[in-house]
Structures are given as C-alpha cells and as structure tokens.
C-alpha cells in the first residue's frame, strides 16, 4: 500500500527541493519550501513542503519537526489570504493514493476559495502558464517573508 512504503528520493518534490526541477517559489527557509501548484485548483493554489525530512506523508513526519513546519504552513496560508483576499481558504493534505495523494513527499495544499468561483479538479487538467503563476506568486511573496 502506498501509505506505507519507502521514501523515493526521486519524487517530484524532492527534485524541486534539490533544484533539479523548476518551481515558482513564494517562501523558503531551512524548514520549508512553498511554491505554486502547476495544476491549480484555484488562483493562488500553493503547496508547502518540509525540508530536511524524508516524510512521504503526515504519518511519517517526525513529531519533533512538525511544529516548525506547521508554523510555515500557517505563515504561507496567512500570506495567501492577505495577498489574494479570498472568501475562504482550504488547507488540506492527503495520505496514500486511495486518499488522493499523487506526490509522495509530505505537503499541505493552500487553496483560496471565492464564493462565485468553482474549484478545478485535483492534480488534473491543463498545466498553468509559468507567467500566470509568477504573477500570483509576486503578490504572495511580500506577505510570506
């Protein structure tokens, strides 16, 4: 079962952390990296991943590293809210493929919601233009520092 397996150091987010794959970053320190989801479910869909741990999911995350990581998740969620002023904000994560997880390095999704706008599908559809993601990231970054 994908809920219990070895960490794959070649997963997409590990490659992004190593700089082997590009990403549109909004925040980074020694604890976490936040970047725009390339298949955004709404404008401003941001992912926050922990650094220096090989955690596939929430269950794997060493508890002594959790507090600092969750602090970054909240910091980025606040930045997204301040920058984009949505009506609501979904903060979520999935554990194991049957639960909807598609990339096996722990991450929280921050998904802004507007009352009048529908939500795109999860990890599907057309890849967003980098220029469009950069435009939104430029708004979020000053609030995430």
Residues that bind ligand 5GP (CB under 6 A): 12, 23, 35, 37-39, 47, 94, 100-103, 123
Give me the least distance between CB of 97 and ligand 5GP, in Å please. Answer: 9
Separation of alpha carbons 75 and 13, rounded Å: 20
Please identify which of the residues 45, 105, 107, 109 carries the catalytic annotation. 107
Is 107 catalytic? The answer is yes
By beta-carbon proximity to ligand 5GP, the closer residue of 1 and 64 is 1
- Minimum CB separation from ligand 5GP for residue 74, in Å? 19
CB 88 within 8 A of CB 81: no
Closer residue to ligand 5GP, CB minimum distance, 64 or 144: 144
Task: Report the nearest approach of ligand 5GP to the CB of residue 90 (Å).
Answer: 12
Measured from the CB atom, is 64 or 107 closer to ligand 5GP?
A: 107
DSSP the chain: -TTS----TTSHHHHHHHTSS---EEEE-SSEEEEE-SS-SSTT-EEEEESS---SSGGGS-HHHHHHHHHHHHHHHHHHHHHH--SEEEEE---SGGGT--S-S--EEEEEE-TT-PPPPTT-SPPPPHHHHHHHHHHHHHHH-
Residue 100 CB, nearest approach to ligand 5GP (Å): 6
Which residues are catalytic, by number?
107
């Amino acid at each position: 079962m994908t809920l219990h397996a070895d960490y794959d150091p070649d997963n997409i987010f590990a490659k992004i952390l190593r700089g082997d794959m590009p990403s549109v970053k909004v925040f980074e320190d020694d604890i976490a990296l936040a970047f725009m989801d390339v298949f955004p479910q709404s404008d401003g869909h941001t992912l926050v991943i922990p650094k220096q741990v090989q955690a596939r999911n929430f269950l794997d995350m060493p508890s002594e590293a959790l507090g600092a990581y969750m602090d970054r998740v909240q910091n980025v969620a606040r930045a997204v809210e301040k920058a984009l002023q949505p009506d609501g904000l979904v903060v979520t994560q999935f554990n194991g493929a049957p639960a909807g997880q598609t990339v096996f390095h722990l991450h929280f999704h921050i998904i802004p919601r507007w009352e009048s706008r529908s939500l795109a599908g999860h990890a599907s559809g057309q890849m967003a233009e980098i220029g469009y993601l950069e435009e939104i990231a430029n708004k979020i970054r000053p609030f995430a520092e």
